[in-house]
Amino acid sequence: MKNKFTFLEKKITATLVNGEFIWVAFEGTNGTSPLYKSSVYNPDLVYWDVNVVADEINFIHSDTTYLYLSLDDSASLGAKVTIANPSTITYFVKPGGITEKAIDLVDDTTFIYFLTPGLVGGANAKIVKYNKSTRAYVETINLTTVFNVKKIDLDEFGNIWIQSDLDGTPKLTKASYSGGWSFTTYTLS
């Protein structure tokens, strides 16, 4: 059994297994990141090779029809790729005030939430919410006291959970909506 695969690209930045396929994203060059749709049994067998406008694809998520990508790009936070025809790519335009890349994303079937890390000096983490089907910007959720975030998730009640400070004292922040956003941070020990 072959267990080593050689690609022409430099570095794999994200992967997603979807049925009998594996999506492999590579580090970009000159603002373009390759995305392969390959056989899960033999990744050397590439069915699609498309270029995504971004310096890097940081995370891949899917539903039955689309892939959603979180991006490192100056103009877009994410991309929406049609699974049946991956050359059909549309983008989630970065709203004003967002200077960092999207490192993760999650969706609740109606909205998609992109997470920015809060690593740039003076910038805290933010969640940018879009309508999933139309890609229309909805709002920016400003996590005013949360920095150095790594992951985002949703629970069954619609609360957003954010992991941060994994290099030091890890924290979980719960973002709840009831007429406005409220935040509770838990320090893990």
Task: List pLDDT tens digits, range 95-142.
Answer: 999 999 999 999 999 999 999 998 877 689 999 999 999 999 999 999
Question: What pLDDT sits at residue 6?
Answer: 67
User: Taking residues 11-37, what's their average pLDDT?
Assistant: 95
CA distances (Å), origin 90, targets 55, 82, 93, 154: 16, 9, 9, 24
- Say if strands 171-177 and 160-164 run parallel, antiparallel, or are unpaired: antiparallel
- Could you give the percent of the chain with pLDDT greater than 70? 95
pLDDT, mean of residues 70-87: 97
Q: What is the pTM of this model?
A: 0.92
Q: What is the pLDDT of residue 2?
A: 53
The residue ranges of every structural domain in the chain are 1-94, 104-189
Local confidence band at 1 (pLDDT 50, 70, 90 cut-offs): very low
